[in-house]
Amino acid sequence: MGKNLIVKPLVVHSPAKLNLFLAITGKRADGFHDLVSVAAPVDFGDTLEIAEAEDGFVLTCDDPALEVDETNLVLRAARAFAAASGWKGGARFSMVKRIPMGAGLGGGSSNAAATLRGLNEIAGYPLKGEKLAEVAAQLGSDCVLFLSGGPVIMRGRGERVESLPAGAVRRLVGRRVLIFKPGFSISTAWAYRRMVTAEPGWYLPTQEAEGLLAAWLHSRTHAAEELLFNNMEGPAFAKYIALPVLLDVLRAEFGLVPRMSGSGSACFALLPHEVSVDVIQTRIREHWGPKAFVAEAKLG
């Protein structure tokens, strides 16, 4: 091992995200979709350990269901970083996987962003913020948001990211949230195809989406619950009836405002400070089975 290699591995937190507001506004000429979204990381997620190596990139994971070959976003991000920065080193990545896959929680995109952040630190920060964001955008629409470290507004296909006003951030950061997912996943590609083919369509025009977002931002007093919106629930709920059935129960019994995150199948509910999750968790598992994923977190 070369004398300049970092002996102690770098440990990088790779958070899940929630789409608090998600409006898919239409399909683009390049095949992607335009959106307007407010997304926030949470303090729950994966852990990525990066050990510098002489050359090459290798990934291991504690979850055998995760593919660790060259299709994994960690290795794709590592190659993209090396190409953009000219860095000649290598790394061994070891991941502890907590974010469920196929959930709409951005696990793969978060892993890619964690890889970029970690390698950039190891290499001495050859890529500044804007350039690192360009590399992230090439890897996936959600990747850029994970470079921000807090709630953001996303536009375009997700690559155009801006910070929220300070007052809006204060209404979000630190809020308790319960994240829950049934035993099945929803294909993102399937969900977007349904957005295109459904009659009547589920798109929300850009002007309406921006109007809803602006009304919440400019109110200064509206709680986070009043921001929540997701028009991808339309195609998901039409096929996977277990989702709306449970969300209706949580509204009726606990007064919560549950929503689906991204294209699903994970859902979430913001929690009042005094509420215990035990009874809610029991109700979730009564409907979705004992293996349903449930985790309490805080918005970052």
Summarised one tens digit per residue, pLDDT across range 55-67 is: 899 999 999 999 9
* Active-site residue identified among 34, 46, 97, 142: 142
**Pair 257, 225: CB distance under 8 Å:** yes
In CATH, 167-298 is 1.10.357.10: no
Summarised one tens digit per residue, pLDDT across range 64-114 is: 999 999 999 999 999 999 999 999 999 999 999 999 998 999 999 999 999
Q: Has 46 been annotated as catalytic?
A: no
Consecutive sets of 10 residues in the chain, 300 residues long: mean pLDDT of each? 62 97 92 93 97 93 93 97 96 97 93 97 94 94 91 92 93 96 93 81 92 93 93 93 97 96 96 89 96 95
What residue spans define the domains of the chain? Answer: 10-163, 167-298
Query: Are domains 10-163 and 167-298 of this chain identical in fold?
Result: no
pLDDT score recorded for residue 85: 96
Task: Report the C-alpha dihedral over residues 27, 32, 37, 38, rounded to 10 degrees.
Answer: 180
- The encoded tokens of residue 254 equal 């606990």
Q: Which of 284, 298, 286 is nearest to 224 (CA)?
A: 298
Residue type present at position 297: A
* Active-site residue identified among 17, 46, 97, 181: 17
pLDDT score recorded for residue 8: 83
Q: Has 17 been annotated as catalytic?
A: yes
pLDDT score recorded for residue 220: 76
- The encoded tokens of residue 201 equal 């369509």
**Pair 35, 159: CB distance under 8 Å:** no
The topology (CATH level 3) of 10-163 is Ribosomal Protein S5; domain 2 (3.30.230)
